[in-house]
Amino acid sequence: MKKIELFEPAMCCSTGVCGPSVNQDLLTITSAFEAMQGVTNVEANRYNLSNNPDVFSGRPEILSAIKDDADSVLPITVVDDEIVKTGTYPTIDELSEYTGLVFVPAEQKNSCCGGSGCC
């Protein structure tokens, strides 16, 4: 069982569409974490400061990491209780590395093959 956790800055919604700009990284992360919800041997969770301050406060390693500068340290990626990345979101390749999962490229909605994988 792999456990991957993402500690994110305060935000309004998980996709970031409610901020002043749309962040492509966040869309990718939302998609990847959503995909991991269906995987049995991986536990993937996201916590953000405004919605889940309780989780932050119960994790000494996170508290100490954000002590001096939360803005530049968040988001923090934690794999099996160990901080593996800070400051930016993990890429898809890194997520594969952490979890052993392979993320297949997204299928285009309304493309020739639809969602069936016929191509």
Partner 1 sequence: MQTYQPQSTKLTHYLFFTGKGGVGKTTTASATAINLADSGKRVMLASTDPASNLQDVFDTELTNKPKDIANVPGLFVANFDPVTAAAEYRESVIGPYRGILPETAINNMAEQLSGSCTVEIASFNEFANFLTDSEVDQKFDYIIFDTAPTGHALRMLQLPSAWNNYLDENDRGASCLGQLAGMDDKKAMYEKAVVTLNDPELTTLMLVTRPQKASLLEADRAAQELAAIGIKNQQLIINGTLKDPTDLPSQTIFRQQQNDLAQMPASLKELAQFEVPLRPYNVTGLDKLRLVLQSEQPKLTPQPSIKNDYPNLDVIVNDLVKSNKKIIFTMGKGGVGKTTVAVQIAKKLVAQHKTVHLATTDPADHLNLFKTDDPDITVSHIDEQQVLKDYQDEVLASAQKTMKSDDVDYIAEDLRSPCTQEIAVFRAFANIVAQDDSDVVVIDTAPTGHTLLLLDSTQSYAQEVQRTSGEVPQAIIDLLPRLQDPSQTEIVMVTLPETTPVYESMRLNDDLDRAQMAHTWWLVNQSMLATNTTNPCLQARAQNEVEWIEKVKELSNNHFAVEQWQPDFEKVLLTI
Positions in the binding site for partner 1 (CB under 8 A): 9-28, 30-31, 34-35, 48-53, 56-57, 63, 66-71, 74, 88, 106-110, 115
**Site of tokens 């996201």:** 46
Least distance to partner 1, CB of residue 54, Å = 8
Least distance to partner 1, CB of residue 65, Å = 9
**Residues 65, 103, 37, 27, CA torsion sign:** positive
Least distance to partner 1, CB of residue 23, Å = 3
Q: Give whichever of 72 and 80 is closer to partner 1, judged by the CB atom.
A: 72
Q: Are the C-beta atoms of 43 and 79 separated by less than 8 Å? A: no
CB-based contacts of 32: which residues, under 8 Å, 6+ apart?
A: 92, 95, 103
**Beta-bridge partner residues of 46:** 6
Q: Give whichever of 48 and 99 is closer to partner 1, judged by the CB atom.
A: 48
Q: Give whichever of 25 and 80 is closer to partner 1, judged by the CB atom.
A: 25
CB-based contacts of 71: which residues, under 8 Å, 6+ apart?
A: 9
SS3 40: coil
Least distance to partner 1, CB of residue 79, Å = 22
Q: Give whichever of 56 and 96 is closer to partner 1, judged by the CB atom.
A: 56
